[in-house]
Chains A and B, each alone.
Chain A
């Protein structure tokens, strides 16, 4: 996979620059600058007009994020195929390079280094789990490597990362929660109990739901944090207060089916209203017999897993391209349920990369700054083939996209959208501003 020949021709040149920086050590010279002033690097960049644009996909192929990783990879391949069939980006084909990070933050950081310095990619994208994003993002920033995540986490939007990190393909949790809280309190009830994973992703919910519910005159009566490695959940359930109107649940990882099953056994038919993030059943078949109790409960979905009556032509097209049937399962294997509610983010991110590279006239790594500025200049995305989930507003300051959210009701082992929020419902005051950071 690695480009050995270019590595070899480069060696003597970059060693000269390294020696000169060694002499002047103490001067602030980043690795990126070293390579960009290297003569070898410039020649490489000029000679590559027909060379592919390389995109590094940091994939959770193994570890606890594997079901997401597999589908993210399929979507990435499908999107890249379309981009290449239409002539690539700026006349150059796109080459996808995949590296597994094992859903591990240390390996994630190493993978970013590998992309930047061995594969010499033009951008890295696709990381999902928050802890991997947070572990890898500083290295991406210091290597001046554009890093576009599809994570939902608030790490990008809150301003805790750096100028090279973007989340243009999927709305962050804070906005999702803010936009849905009014619907929850109005339609399901005002006393809310939360069950969430006791780590970063869960904290995004823990920190943002209570104020949003409170703003609607409701109240979060109990917050139950479950360690991320937990494999059995029944013992947490008695902590749900009996006067709870709404049970709000979100769970990730391999144990999600156990969680929903045990919830069902605990409650049976006498249950409070239940509102969950689809993450709790993502990649899980709703037709599993133990999940019957979910009938009549509600889920957040980024993009509806089951094809809706008013399905847009874009959803139809996208669904076909990524090989998913009308029930959200793989066309090749109906037992293989997709992570449909999230994975569109990979597709939209890739088309965003294409859009920004085109408007920047991107010709090679020397144009990275222009690429970043082009991304920051984006203000909105229109619904269409490139953005099948719907239109979005993009904030160039905190590098975050804001879109519509779907609330779906489970009806006999399928889900139907009952409410779609407006983009404005999910807007909040943005304090972060990455554009003030240097490039």
Chain B
């Protein structure tokens, strides 16, 4: 294939990757930004989103689109509820100590993953796309649904931006992020904000998963990859920064698609992971917001 079309395809794939990644990483970033904790179980909320999407879609036998759009609402709500409960039951009791939280969320990772294995089973199961439309370009074909995912992610992003910057809810969250003690002094119920933010972060991951699951299948081990990628994006973009996350997700998504044109994808992943680790070492303040405690 000639280079031009090759690049076009890599770009389309990169945009798709970036779209899903932005939503997932945004959830992680939001949680870190406001609560100052790293949620290692984030990838499992993504996986749960996909699994519940399968569950909902398989209950609505009529048209795939019905099942899909119901799942797009129901699945994030269930995932959010689970996240909310685990925040109340576990993270709150740890008093959001950063290191204990990492250990606890690793535990949650296994609990969620293995419970899914017990109930949903070890198979990869497909969810039908709401519509199936193949766009034939002169050099190759591309799925219309993939483009829909990109658009849907952009819509979601705008919505998140609106909530964060134009609503009272966003103001409260920003205030908590900026200075926990002062916010509390002004009567902001910090704990409720934390629980809400944790649930919202998980819901963003779940939405990303519902969007992608008609392209990839729902599988109990699907959470690890998005987790590592989200870490990379969040570190590169600067935690808690919406714009940074979007830019970094675009960068990682596109470069992943384009670099693997020239190098082996394993090598590409190796190099990008190494670079990000070095960024974190040599520019920790800049990338971790104010300062990691």
Binding site for B on A (CB under 8 A): 61-64, 66-67, 69-70, 198, 225, 227, 229-232, 234-235, 237-240, 242, 254-258, 261, 265-268, 283, 288-290
- How far is the CB of A38 from the nearest CB of chain B, in Å? 39
Q: Complex: how many Å from CA A258 to CA B216?
A: 6
Residue pairs across A and B with Cβ atoms less than 8 A apart, 23 shown, are A62-B122, A67-B122, A67-B124, A70-B123, A231-B222, A231-B225, A232-B215, A234-B13, A235-B10, A235-B260, A238-B9, A239-B1, A242-B1, A254-B221, A254-B222, A255-B216, A255-B217, A257-B124, A258-B216, A266-B140, A267-B141, A268-B134, A268-B136
Q: Which residues of chain B are near A258, meaning CB under 8 Å?
A: 215-217
Cross-interface CB contact of A266 among B6, B141, B219, B260, cutoff 8 Å: B141
Cross-interface CB contact of A230 among B13, B219, B261, B265, cutoff 8 Å: B265
Q: Smallest CB-CB separation from A290: which chain B residue?
A: B132
- How far is the CB of A318 from the nearest CB of chain B, in Å? 23
User: With contacts A254-B221, A258-B216, A265-B134 known, is A238 near B5, CB below 8 A?
Assistant: yes
Is A232 a contact of B13 with CB atoms below 8 Å?
yes
Q: Complex: how many Å from CA A97 to CA B134?
A: 49
Is A254 a contact of B124 with CB atoms below 8 Å?
yes
Is B9 a contact of A234 with CB atoms below 8 Å?
yes
- How far is the CB of A14 from the nearest CB of chain B, in Å? 36
Is B140 a contact of A237 with CB atoms below 8 Å?
yes
Is B117 a contact of A62 with CB atoms below 8 Å?
yes
Q: Which residues of chain A are near B215, meaning CB under 8 Å?
A: 232, 258, 261
Q: Complex: how many Å from CA A240 to CA B265?
A: 16
User: With contacts A257-B126, A267-B141 known, is A235 near B261, CB below 8 A?
Assistant: yes
Q: Complex: how many Å from CA A256 to CA B216?
A: 9
Is B257 a contact of A265 with CB atoms below 8 Å?
no
Q: Which residues of chain B are near A70, meaning CB under 8 Å?
A: 122-123
Q: Which residues of chain B are near A238, meaning CB under 8 Å?
A: 1, 5-6, 9-10, 140, 261
Is B216 a contact of A231 with CB atoms below 8 Å?
yes
Does B266 reach chain A (CB closer than 8 Å)? yes
Q: Which residues of chain B are near A240, meaning CB under 8 Å?
A: 1
Across chains A and B, which 6 residue pairs bring their CB atoms closest together, nearest first? A66-B122, A254-B124, A268-B141, A238-B1, A254-B219, A265-B143
Q: Complex: how many Å from CA A61 to CA B217?
A: 19
Q: Complex: how many Å from CA A321 to CA B45?
A: 40
Q: Complex: how many Å from CA A239 to CA B222?
A: 26
- How far is the CB of B223 from the nearest CB of chain A, in Å? 11
Cross-interface CB contact of B225 among A229, A237, A283, cutoff 8 Å: A229
Across chains A and B, the number of contacting residue pairs, with CB separation under 8 Å, is: 83
- How far is the CB of A162 from the nearest CB of chain B, in Å? 30
Q: Which residues of chain B are near A235, meaning CB under 8 Å?
A: 9-10, 13, 257, 260-261, 265
0 or 1 for each of B191-220: is its CB under 8 Å from A? (1 = yes): 000000000000000000000000111010
- How far is the CB of B293 from the nearest CB of chain A, in Å? 34
Q: Which residues of chain A are near B124, meaning CB under 8 Å?
A: 67, 254-257
Q: Complex: how many Å from CA A225 to CA B260?
A: 12
Q: Complex: how many Å from CA A107 to CA B224?
A: 20
Q: Smallest CB-CB separation from A266: which chain B residue?
A: B140
Q: Which residues of chain A are near B219, meaning CB under 8 Å?
A: 254
Q: Complex: how many Å from CA A427 to CA B10?
A: 43
Is A289 a contact of B128 with CB atoms below 8 Å?
yes
Is B122 a contact of A61 with CB atoms below 8 Å?
yes
Q: Complex: how many Å from CA A70 to CA B10?
A: 37
Is B221 a contact of A64 with CB atoms below 8 Å?
yes
Q: Smallest CB-CB separation from B121: which chain A residue?
A: A66
User: With contacts A67-B122, A257-B124 known, is A198 near B117, CB below 8 A?
Assistant: no
Is A257 a contact of B117 with CB atoms below 8 Å?
no
Q: Which residues of chain B are near A232, meaning CB under 8 Å?
A: 13, 17, 215-216
Q: Which residues of chain B are near A255, meaning CB under 8 Å?
A: 124, 216-217
- How far is the CB of A207 from the nearest CB of chain B, in Å? 18
Is B266 a contact of A198 with CB atoms below 8 Å?
yes
Is A289 a contact of B136 with CB atoms below 8 Å?
no
0 or 1 for each of B249-286: is its CB under 8 Å from A? (1 = yes): 00000000100110011100000000000000000000
Q: Complex: how many Å from CA A290 to CA B142?
A: 12
Q: Complex: how many Å from CA A227 to CA B266?
A: 7
Q: Complex: how many Å from CA A65 to CA B43?
A: 21
Q: Which residues of chain B are near A283, meaning CB under 8 Å?
A: 123
Is B1 a contact of A288 with CB atoms below 8 Å?
no
Is A289 a contact of B216 with CB atoms below 8 Å?
no
Q: Which residues of chain A are near B122, meaning CB under 8 Å?
A: 61-63, 66-67, 69-70
- How far is the CB of B248 from the nearest CB of chain A, in Å? 19
Q: Smallest CB-CB separation from A103: which chain B residue?
A: B122
- How far is the CB of B213 from the nearest CB of chain A, in Å? 11
